[in-house]
Structure formats: C-alpha cells, structure tokens
Amino acid sequence: MQAPLRATLIGFTAILMWSLLALLTAASGAMPPFQLAAVTFAIGGTLGAVSFIGRPGAVKALRQPWPVWALGVGGLFGYHALYFMALRLAPPAEAGLINYLWPLLIVLFSALLPGERLKPHHLAGAALGLIGTIVLISGRAELGFAPRDLPGYAAAFVAAFVWAIYSVASRRFASVPSDAVVGFCLVTALLAALCHLLFETTVWPRDAAEWGAVIALGIGPVGLAFYVWDIGVKRGDIRVLGAASYAAPVLSTLALIAGGYAQPRWTLWLAAALIAFGGLVAAKDMFMRRRV
C-alpha cells in the first residue's frame, strides 16, 4: 500500500473515534467542560508518554521550536476552549452546525499548501458534505438564531477556523514526529485545568459507568485520535480527509441512537447519503491512483 494512501486511511480512524465523542460525553455525567478536557487530555497525553517506554529516542520529539508548540497547543486547546464556550453560550444544535464548517475549510485551505491544487470534484465533495451536515443538524433541532446566542455562534465559527488552520498548517511541519502530540496534549490538559479552577465547580463522575466513559474519551476521541489525525494530515491526502470528516456528525448521531440518546429521523438517512457520496466524489483521485 502506498504511503499517502496508508496515512489517509490512518487519518480516517480519527474521524471514527470522533464520532463517539458526543455519545461518550453524554455518558460521562455532569463534569464541567474544562474539567472534562483536563482529565481526558491528561489521559491521552499520559498514554502517549507511556508509549515512549522502549523507544528512548521518541522523547526527542518534544524538543521542537516554539512555532511548533504554538501551533500544536493553540490548535488543541484553542479549538476545545472555543467549542466548549459555544456549547455553553448557544444551543448545541446550532453551535454544532456552525462548528462543522471546519471540514469544508480544510478542503479549501489545502489549496494554499505547496504542491496541492484544489480541483472541482474536491469542492463538489465538500459542498455535498456541507449540505448533508445542514440537513442532519437542522433535522435534529428547530433552528432559531436569537441575538443573545450570537457570542456562542461567534465562538463556534472561530473554532471551525482554528481547527481547520491547525490541521492544514500541520502539513507545513510534516517533518515533526507525531510523538510531539504527547506534549501538546499534556500542556492542553494543564491549561484546561487552570481554566477549570478559575471558572468552574468541580464535579466528579458518580459511578463506574461514568468513569468508564471519561476514560474511553481520554483513550480515543481525546487521545489516540489526535495522534492518527496528525499522521493523516501530514502524510495523507488532506483534501480527502477534510471532505470525509463530514461523516463524523452522521456517525455520531448513529452512535447516539444506538445508545438511546437520540431517535432516528428521515433527515439522518438523507444526510448520510449526501455525506457518503460527497466523500466518494472528493476521494476520486485516490481511487483512480489505485487503478493505475
């Protein structure tokens, strides 16, 4: 298997893990956002650090210049701080709709990378994914944009740009090993803990089920997902990953339905068809290369 294709497929696994983010968050109880971020990023960073055992040279990946640290920590902490703020200040469905502009922005911003060229089918695939996301989220809640919600909408909008810029700019640091994400996660956990102490009241999980959800978050969506996403955006086809990211809200809704936290609607199936077809359109180049 060619290296770019392998890296793209590895990046896909991050999308699969992020599809469990809503379900695991719902199952984690009433822990405040920054506290949850601090605990889960600490788990994800610690697991990454444990992987250094037996690989003494891996710790050298943490010795990076300040621009690398600024991008890594700014992307992980900045995005999650803004996203949590959006969920606090605006209705979740509407905030989610605005936040899911980031896959489209990744596809568009990828044209700015050296050696990359945006083609019509990449734009078509991203547009189909955006339409599918709008159908999905608008089918889950009646959209109502009240003036009091504007700060939350603004936070969600900026969060989309932060994650897209982080993902695309990571390509400019392709030589930085993915082991550096360990440091980004641990610093993010520290910053989230400070924000928790300043702005929130501590609430711990009530039982083993809630603790299990918190630990699962730290292992997967707020842990391993960042490592494999780093591999995907640095060495894979970032345009295909951007368009395929629209699968996250559909898969997330399916997980919520399976967990009993949501009910199926016809809009879900329409959105799934639009998003799946959009991903296939955007991935045309990858399929054509495999046939050559």
Taking only the tens place, the pLDDT of each residue in 228-266 is 999 998 988 888 888 888 888 788 888 888 888 777 778
pLDDT band at 93 (very low <50, low <70, confident <90, very high): low
**Residue 119 pLDDT > 90, yes or no?**
no
How much is the average pLDDT of 92-106? 80
Q: Which residues contact 167 (CB under 8 A, 6 or more apart)?
A: 75, 102, 106, 229, 233, 238, 241, 242
Q: Which pLDDT value is given to residue 179?
A: 94
**Residue 100 pLDDT > 60, yes or no?**
yes
CB 106 within 8 A of CB 245: yes
CB 260 within 8 A of CB 34: no
Residue from 176, 170, 180 nearest 113 by CA: 170
> pLDDT higher for 283 or 219?
219
Taking only the tens place, the pLDDT of each residue in 9-66 is 999 999 999 888 888 888 888 888 899 999 999 999 999 999 998 887 889 999 999 9
Cα 26 to Cα 256: distance, rounded to the nearest angstrom: 9
Name the CA dihedral angle for 105, 110, 111, 117, rounded to a multiple of 10 degrees.
Answer: -130
Q: Which pLDDT value is given to residue 149?
A: 80
* Token representation of residue 29: 């109880």
Taking only the tens place, the pLDDT of each residue in 161-214 is 999 999 999 988 988 999 999 999 999 999 999 999 999 999 999 999 999 999
32 vs 196, 197, 216, CA distance in Å?
Answer: 8, 11, 17
CB 44 within 8 A of CB 224: yes
CA atoms within 13 A on the CB side of 136: 28
- Give pTM, 2 decimals: 0.83
Cα 215 to Cα 152: distance, rounded to the nearest angstrom: 28
